[in-house]
Amino acid sequence: MEETLRELERRALQELEQCEDSNQLEAWRLRFLGKKGQLTAVLRGMAKLSEDERPRIGRLANEIRDALEEARVSRQDALKEKERRRRLESERLDVTVPGWRFAVGGLHPLTRIIEEIEEIFLGMGFEIREGPEVELDYYNFEALNIPKDHPARDMQDTFYITEEILMRTHTSPMQARTLEKTCPSVPVKIIVPGRVYRRDEDDATHSHSFVQVEGLMVDRGVRMSDLKGVLTVFVRGMFGEDRQIRLRPSYFPFTEPSAEVDVSCPLCDGAGCRVCKGSGWIEILGAGMVHPYVLEKAGYDPDEVSGFAFGLGVERTAMLKYGIDDIRHFYMNDLHFLRQFRRGL
């Protein structure tokens, strides 16, 4: 009997070691310690024992039951601890693992330049306006002193939607639109960034669609020297404090006098290089004093008020600033090109 009990204890302890979860542990408990368990079965056989053997075997059986119960509890604790560790391990957050790399875009170089231009003019008290890209012939040409048969139309041929509706060829129509609305109040100080269209052949410096920024200032007593001052502040803000500007006589039907404005070449500092074609100067915009015809057409009295206007090519400005040799780079969507301008957003 004693031997059977000892053997039972050994087997129970052995099997206990193999229990790996609470289900197995419960099954083990029922198998050895339950009412229909093996220990109870052995104890039932005690009736056959002699009077003197019974208490000894009874004590041994109790000891074995207590020992097995104790072993079960400690196995249960060990399994719980093992499970806790496993869970901790699987839930551990490794903060040193590199994160996902998301492809982040950046602003297009032209958008950047437009924002820079806006910043400089906002600093001088100009407001920003926008106008329609699909424009009436009236604002694009007529109101700017370019009647139907005027030769200046040849230089700005465009995409016509109807006889009277076209894709605007410059941002200057916003001169006429704005003055018409603001008349008779002054001052008017606006810049107008926007896309324009022309029937130009695409090449290294021309595109059939490009961006301009129009500038317009109308007030009492505005003079050519104000134009020169404002453009000097702009050019130095954009290309550096050492830049000079030069006004060359030119012709636009909607300004009088008119000028082409050159900036001293930022690449060779005016000494002459390939980019400025040896002259030391690069043309960046057209400008002039607002023509009395334009003021009158909008309702202003040209004897009372005067103003200046200018039209700047944004691609040409960006090309000069970043040393880009072909305007088509802006429109090819080549990531090698675009990524160079990605710093920040």
Instruction: Give me the residues that bind ligand FA5 (CB under 6 A), please.
Output: 170, 172, 198, 200, 206-207, 210, 212, 214, 252, 255, 285-288, 309-311, 313, 315-316, 327
Strand residues in 81-234 grouped as ranges (E): 127-128, 134-136, 165-167, 188-197, 209-219
Q: How far is the CB of 172 from ligand FA5 (least distance, A)?
A: 4
Q: How far is the CB of 92 from ligand FA5 (least distance, A)?
A: 59
Closer to ligand FA5 by CB, 16 or 235: give it.
235
Q: How far is the CB of 220 from ligand FA5 (least distance, A)?
A: 20
Angle, vertex CA 249, rays to CA 247 and CA 255, nearest 5: 100
Radius of gyration of the chain (CA): 45
Closer to ligand FA5 by CB, 75 or 291: give it.
291
Strand residues in the chain grouped as ranges (E): 127-128, 134-136, 165-167, 188-197, 209-219, 245-252, 255-264, 281-290, 306-313
Contact 313, 210 (CB under 8 A): yes
User: Cα(299)–Cα(310) distance, rounded to whole angstroms?
Assistant: 21
Contact 325, 319 (CB under 8 A): yes
Q: How far is the CB of 281 from ligand FA5 (least distance, A)?
A: 13
Q: How far is the CB of 333 from ligand FA5 (least distance, A)?
A: 18
The region that residue 241 occupies, defined by phi over 0 for left and psi between -120 and 50 for alpha, beta otherwise, is alpha
Q: How far is the CB of 212 from ligand FA5 (least distance, A)?
A: 5
Q: Which residues of 161-179 are buried (b: 16+ CB within 10 A; e: fewer)?
A: eeeeebbbbbbbbbbbbbb
256 is in an annotated binding site: yes
Q: What is the DSSP letter of 333?
A: -
Helical (H) or strand (E) element with 179: helix 173-182
Closer to ligand FA5 by CB, 28 or 197: give it.
197
Contact 287, 311 (CB under 8 A): yes
Binding-site residues, in ranges, read: 256
Binding-site residues for Mg(2+), in ranges, read: 256
